Amino acid sequence: MNIHEYQAKAVLREFGLPVSRGVAVLAASEAEAAARELGGPVWVVKSQIHAGGRGKGTFQDAPAGAKGGVRVSRSVEEVVQNAREMLGATLVTVQTGPSGRQVNRLYIEEGAQIAAEFYLSMLVDRESGGVAFVVSTEGGMDIEAVAHDTPEKIHTVPVDPATGLMPHHGRAIAKALGLTGPQAKQAEALAAGLYRAFLAKDMSLLEINPLVLTGEGRLVCLDAKMAFDANALYRHPDVLGLRDESEEDAKEIEASKHDLAYIALEGTIGCMVNGAGLAMATLDIIKLYGEEPANFLDVGGGASEEKVTAAFKIITADPNVKGILVNIFGGIMKCDVIARGVIAAVKAVGLAVPLVVRLEGTNVEEGKAIIRGSGLNVIPADDLDDAAQKIVAAVKGA
Ligand code: GDP
Ligand code: MN
């Protein structure tokens, strides 16, 4: 689960970490009050959307040369003017895709004087089996480009979970950033605080880009992207309270209510599968035969008829879906339950696109008989290969 920058900074502040003062606002009038409260003389007006690259982003229908989604402002009037232009407008960045995201909230922050910009992130690193810091002196820019062009400028500092963060980790981070003396000490304290916050809140990712050295020689987290492990949210009601559903895919929200593992994709073939491995194989084979999947959907091992119906409704509600492939291996899950769920869903929402059903495993004959007897226009398939070819042919023919 992702949160907004202003929320992430509040979490950092909770752990005593250095962030600038700021106020989140929903209207230009609030922006004026916030600017006066912060006092200036420099402010930064920052679009709050769940996507990065805001600074270099562009607003839809803005005149050529117009400024991006992060704007340094030098008077209260300029803050208000920027707020007026940005609120309600659609910001397009490299991370939003071409349709962009509507900006509904701004973060008005006191401006920092930047002497140097660094990159610092933390993630759950599969290679080392723990949390790792990734740092670079090349902050404030596209870190993917840095990793591609000058990989030697990116330093990874893994932390052994058995020892936790040790002083040497902090020293390694400070050294990688080229910091010495009091700044190195600040970097070490920062690393310790970030590590504490990361574990305490069960984060899956924390990216600070840029981490800056100010004119007064202070390290400050100027941007913050924070993501949390969804499997640990049950023990963090405070974090769950930060969820902004307007930033998430409506189909994914609906799916999460039914405890379905669903991820929206860009293609045309809707998939209903049980088991993550089989779901991945299904996506692969659809691509192999030349089409693209519209979603990843794992209905899970013990899905009920209601859950299958909900899954089917989510798939058919997607206007990109030109065909549906149901691919179930009944182990714990029984084929007749799937068959009944599919039929109940089709009766409830109708079927406007071709549907291929491949069932295998427990109660398979009963499941197939239910589908056959339903009178619905279902294309039966015998195995995964057959099913993929049939749905691709049906979609291409349509
Ligand atoms: P992003 O583009 O979505 O990653 O948004 P950031 O929060 O990283 O802001 C983009 C850029 O705006 C930063 O890399 C900085 O160069 C600049 N910026 C952000 N805050 C300040 C500030 O307080 N003072 C100055 N001078 N520049 C800032
Ligand atoms: Mn940034």
pLDDT tens column, 110-119 = 999 999 999 9
Residue 376 has pLDDT above 90, yes or no: no
211/271 Cα distance (integer angstroms): 42
CA distance 82 to 106: 10
pTM of the model: 0.81
Cβ(55) to ligand 1 under 6 A? yes
Q: How many helices (H) and strands (E) does the chain have?
A: 13, 19
What percent of the chain shows pLDDT beyond 90? 71
Question: 270: Cβ below 6 Å to ligand 1?
Answer: no
CB 212 within 8 A of CB 118: yes
Report the mean per-residue pLDDT for the chain.
92
Q: What is the pLDDT of residue 247?
A: 85
Domains, the chain, in order of start with CATH, read 20-110 (3.30.1490.20), 114-239 (3.30.470.20), 249-397 (3.40.50.261)
pLDDT greater than 90 at residue 334 = no
Alpha carbon distance 266, 221 (integer Å): 35
Four-residue CA torsion sign, 264, 267, 268, 274: negative
| pLDDT number for residue 275 | 87
- What is the spatial distance between Cα 98 and Cα 367, in angstroms, rounded to a whole number? 43
The rounded Å distance from CA 240 to ligand 2 centre is 23
* Average pLDDT over every residue of 333-347: 86
Closest residue (by CA) to atom 14 of ligand 1?
140
Average pLDDT over residues 55-62: 90
Label the pairing between strands 219-221 and 203-214. Answer: antiparallel
Ligand nearest the Cα of residue 57 is 1
Q: Give the Cβ contact number of residue 115 at 10 Å.
A: 12
50 lines ligand 1 (CB under 6 A): no
- 5 vs 260, residue with greater confidence: 5
**For residues 106 and 87, is the Cβ–Cβ distance under 8 A?**
yes
pLDDT tens, position by position, 103-157: 999 999 999 999 999 999 999 999 999 999 999 999 987 888 888 999 999 999 9
Alpha carbon distance 339, 69 (integer Å):
49
Using a 6 Å cutoff on CB, does residue 192 contact ligand 1? no
Res. 380 pLDDT band, cuts 50 70 90? confident
Within 10 angstroms of residue 129's Cβ, the number of other Cβ atoms is 11
Does 140 contact ligand 1 (Cβ within 6 A)? yes
Sorted by sequence, the CB contacts under 8 Å of residue 276 that are 6+ apart come out as 261, 298
Q: Which of 58, 119, 223, 226 to mutate to test the pocket of ligand 1 (most atoms within 8 A of CB)?
A: 223
- Work out the percent of the chain whose per-residue pLDDT is above 70: 100
| Per-residue pLDDT at 315 exceeds 80 | yes
Residues 207, 262, 291, 360: which is the catalytic one?
207
Active site residue 119: yes
Distance CA(102)–CA(90), nearest Å, equals: 4
Which three-class secondary structure state does DSSP give residue 26? coil
CA of 293 to the centre of ligand 1 (A): 37
- Nearest residue (CA) to ligand 1, atom 19: 222
pLDDT digits (tens, 9 = 90+) for 169-228: 999 999 999 999 999 999 999 999 999 999 999 999 999 999 999 999 999 999 999 999
Express each pLDDT in 260-293 by its tens digit: 889 889 899 999 998 889 999 999 999 999 999 9
Nearest to 395 by CA among 318, 290, 312, 315: 290
Confidence of residue 398 (pLDDT cuts 50, 70, 90): low
Ligand having the closest approach to the CA of 208: 2
Helices of type H across 121-166? 143-149
If one compares 330 and 321, the residue with the highest pLDDT of the two is 321
289 noted as active-site residue: no
Q: How confident is the model at residue 329 (pLDDT cuts 50, 70, 90)?
A: confident
350 against 159, higher pLDDT: 159
What single DSSP character describes residue 151? G
- CB burial string 142-166: b at 16+ within 10 A, e below: ebeebeeeeeeebbebebeeeeebe
Question: Which ligand has an atom closest to residue 212 CA?
Answer: 1
pLDDT at residue 48, as a whole number: 97
